[in-house]
Amino acid sequence: MAETTVKVDTSTRDTLQGLAAAEGLSVKAYIAKVAGEKEQERALQTATAAFRRTISEPGIMDAFDAEFGGLPAVAHDTSRAA
């Protein structure tokens, strides 16, 4: 893949170098990692918004429960997981 140059001020460069070094990465690898994480974060936000819109429609939750049996019975009446 072709490479390009991104110009940033020295303070930003130093910050990126420190963050990358803390993760044992080059700045190039760190920026690629962060870009991937941000893409995933945006996709999750989009999916979450779509899910919330869908379940807010009247009758959707009742139809889902009718199709899939609703929530499972509670195994015990305490709020502790263990």
Residue 63 lies in a domain: yes
Res. 10: pLDDT tops 60: yes
pLDDT at 82: 57
Q: Which of 17, 41, 14, 12 has its CA nearest to residue 30?
A: 17
User: What are the phi and psi torsion angles at 64 (to 5°)?
Assistant: -65, -45
pLDDT at 80: 65
Residue 28 lies in a domain: yes
Residue 38 lies in a domain: yes
The predicted model gives 63-68 an average pLDDT of 88
Residue 2 lies in a domain: no
Longest dimension (CA), the chain: 59
| H or E, element range at 1 | none
| Count of structural domains, the chain | 1
- Name the residue with higher pLDDT: 75 or 17: 17
Residue 82 lies in a domain: no
Neighbouring residues of 26: CB distance < 8 A, sequence distance ≥ 6: 20
Cβ pair 16, 30 in contact under 8 A? yes
pLDDT tens-digit readout, 37-59? 999 999 999 999 999 999 899 99
Res. 75: pLDDT tops 90: no
Domain residues for the domain of 30 are: 10-68
